């Protein structure tokens, strides 16, 4: 890597500035990352504006019980996080998956402590995969599995019909767009009962895609569903109960 850096000097994935070493982010972009650390909701993983102790739950959880059990994210979807996601997703910066995946392991540590868990990426439809050439969620999930020793199950969920790009759609349109788009792989259905599944994706916006995947998993009577994403759209701060 050192020799390659002499030929092609490393650049910050956030702003493009030259770097002395291949650490992916310059100091300025690192400081602009909106890391999601405690205090946050024990269920949704959304940050609280203030700390009332461990295992606090947001008031939105009982008001609209989620289809998952726990969710964790590395960072809010700010400018620097958006640049990292776009570099990985659209500009072939597949080298970023390793560091992003490692951050996800740290953020989702309490979802990754069951040795029988399966790590499952949100799938792409075969036509989208053909045009993009790789599934960024699967790349992140593979890193998470490799770092933890948990089983990587890239084909557990299948996207059985093509859907419109979610970008620019309203929350309701996103939910309608992915309704019925996912199915379980039949060979794995019988071994899912009671198992923890850790669903992995790059970005959580409205949650429509992730929730559609979770509903399919719930019908298979999985024991627990955890979600780990790299970035997440975050509001002004959740209020504890």
For the domain spanning 33-232, the CATH number is 3.40.50
pTM of the entire predicted model = 0.90
215, containing H or E segment: helix 208-219
Q: Could you tell me which of 210, 161, 198, 205 has the C-alpha nearest to residue 183?
A: 161
pLDDT value, residue 8: 65
Residues 6+ apart with CB under 8 A from 163: 125, 177, 178, 181
pLDDT value, residue 144: 99
10 Å Cβ neighbour count for 106? 12
pLDDT value, residue 178: 78
Owner of token pair 């990754």 = 112
State both tokens at 17.
Answer: 């500035």
Q: Could you tell me which of 112, 84, 113 has the C-alpha nearest to residue 100?
A: 84
pLDDT value, residue 128: 86
Residues 6+ apart with CB under 8 A from 178: 163, 166, 208, 209, 212
pLDDT value, residue 43: 97
225 pairs with which residues across the strands? 197
pLDDT value, residue 74: 98
State both tokens at 112.
Answer: 């990754």
Q: Could you tell me which of 212, 207, 200, 208 has the C-alpha nearest to residue 233?
A: 207
99 burial class (0-12, 13-18, 19+ CB within 10 angstroms)? middle
Domain ranges of the chain: 1-32, 33-232
pLDDT value, residue 187: 72
Query: What is the gyration radius of the CA atoms in the chain, in angstroms?
Result: 18
pLDDT value, residue 86: 95
The per-residue pLDDT string of the chain (241 residues; one tens digit each, 9 = 90 and over) reads 444 444 567 888 888 888 887 768 899 999 999 999 999 999 999 999 888 777 899 988 999 999 999 999 999 999 999 999 999 999 999 999 999 999 999 999 999 999 999 999 999 998 888 888 999 999 999 999 999 999 999 999 999 887 766 666 666 777 777 777 899 987 777 788 899 999 999 999 989 999 999 999 999 999 999 999 999 999 765 665 5
pLDDT value, residue 164: 63
Q: Which three-class secondary structure state does DSSP give residue 43?
A: coil
pLDDT tens track for 48-60: 988 877 789 998 8
Taking CA atoms, 30 is separated from 14, 24, 84, 92, in Å, by: 9, 9, 11, 21
- Rounded distance, CA 108 to CA 187, Å? 28
- Rounded distance, CA 165 to CA 205, Å? 13
74 pairs with which residues across the strands? none
pLDDT value, residue 6: 46
């Amino acid at each position: 890597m050192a020799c390659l850096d002499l030929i092609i000097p490393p650049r910050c994935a956030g702003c493009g500035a030259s770097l002395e070493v291949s650490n992916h982010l310059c100091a300025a972009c690192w400081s602009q990352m909106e890391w999601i650390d405690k205090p946050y909701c024990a269920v949704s993983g959304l940050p609280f504006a203030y700390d009332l102790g461990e295992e606090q739950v947001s008031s939105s959880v009982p008001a609209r019980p989620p289809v998952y059990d726990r969710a964790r994210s590395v960072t809010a979807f700010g400018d620097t996080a958006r640049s990292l996601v776009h570099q990985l997703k659209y500009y072939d910066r597949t080298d970023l998956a390793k560091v992003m995946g490692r951050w996800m392991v740290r953020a989702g540590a309490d979802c990754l402590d069951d040795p029988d868990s399966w790590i499952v990426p949100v799938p792409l439809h075969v036509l989208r995969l053909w045009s993009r050439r790789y599934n960024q969620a699967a790349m992140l999930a593979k890193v998470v599995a490799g770092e933890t020793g948990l089983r990587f199950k890239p084909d557990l969920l299948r996207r059985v019909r093509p859907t419109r790009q979610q970008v620019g759609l309203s929350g309701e349109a996103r939910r309608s767009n992915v309704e019925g788009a996912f199915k379980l792989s039949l060979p794995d259905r019988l071994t899912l009962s009671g198992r923890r599944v850790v669903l992995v994706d790059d970005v959580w916006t409205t949650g429509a895609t992730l929730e559609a995947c979770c509903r399919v998993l719930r019908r298979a009577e999985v024991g627990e569903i955890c979600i780990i994403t790299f970035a997440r759209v975050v509001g002004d701060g959740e209020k504890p109960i």
